[in-house]
Structure 1
Amino acid sequence: FDATFDIRNSRSASVLVVRDQNGVIKASKSILHSNVSSPFVAEACACLEATKLGIEMGLGSVTIMGDSKTVINKCQTTVRDKSIIGAIIKDI
């Protein structure tokens, strides 16, 4: 997953790519989000959308990859996240 953020209009876009174990692209998707407050929130939204896409495709096991180390680390902990993206992390 990846995200871009438009600070002037408080919008972001998420880009998702699904690959199989051989690296072959199986699906891709882009999503526009409104009322996004920061690049941090934009990346968390992209991660959530990647998770939802895996579920929609009926995948039993997925590896989610993105360039936001903070979001990925927050997803891997069991400690409740109280940051601005805490609710999104909980949904993931």
Structure 2
Amino acid sequence: MDTTPRPCSGWNTARKANLSTVVQREWVYGYLAGWRDALKTHANKDIDSLLPANEDIVSQINMYCESNPQNSVNNALRVLVDTTLK
């Protein structure tokens, strides 16, 4: 399994070319499911009700990656989760 963080610049390129939209979204939802499960297990926190709607999550990642192309998509999601938990 490849666990290399994906750069936002690659996310932006794929999004603008309408490539792999379904794959990108599935990856995002899987990543968030992992965070959700870890937080439930280790911190007894349930973030499901705190997260925005799926399309809003993707929109926030798009905005983050446009502003921070040198960062990773993983970091974009970490920022989203951290902001949600505040």
TM-score, with structure 2 as normaliser: 0.31
**Bigger helix fraction:** 2
TM-score, with structure 1 as normaliser: 0.29
**Bigger strand fraction:** 1
Structure number with higher relative contact order (C-alpha < 8 Å, ≥ 6 residues apart): 2
